[in-house]
Amino acid sequence: MPLSAESKEVIRATLPAVGAAIGDITPLFYKKMFAAHPELERNLFNRGNQKQGEQQKALAGSIAAFATLQLDPDPARVEAILSRIAHKHASLGIKPDEYWIVHKHLFEAIVEVLGEAVTPEVAAAWDELYWLMANTLIKLEDDLYKAAGVAPGDVWRTVRVAERRHQSADTVSFVLTSLDGAPLPAFRPGQYLSVGVVLPDGARQIRQYSLTNAPSQGDWRITVKRILATTTPDGAVAPAGEVSNFLYDNVFEGDDLQVTTPFGDLVLPDDGAPLLLASAGIGCTPMIGMLAHLAETGDERKVSVLHADRSVANHAHRHELATLVERIPSAEVHRWYEDLGAREPLETVRVGRADVSDLPLDPNTKAYLCGPLPFMLSLREALIERNVPAENIHYEVFGPDSWAPSA
User: Which residues are designated catalytic?
Assistant: 99, 141
Which H, E and C letters describe the chain, residue by residue? Answer: CCCCHHHHHHHHHHHHHHHHHHHHHHHHHHHHHHHHCHHHHHHCCCHHHHHHCHHHHHHHHHHHHHHHHHHCCCHHHHHHHHHHHHHHHHHHCCCCHHHHHHHHHHHHHHHHHHHHHCCHHHHHHHHHHHHHHHHHHHHHHHHHHHHHCCCCCCCEEEEEEEEEEEEECCEEEEEEEECCCCCCCCCCCCCEEEEEEECCCCCEEEEEEEECCCHHHCCEEEEEECCCCEECCCCCEECCCHHHHHHHHHCCCCCEEEEECCECCCCCCCCCCCEEEEEEHHHHHHHHHHHHHHHHCCCCCCEEEEEEEEECCCCCCHHHHHHHHHHCCCEEEEEEEEECCCCCCCCCEEECCCCCCCCCCCCCCEEEEECCHHHHHHHHHHHHHCCCCHHHEEEECCCCCCCCCCC
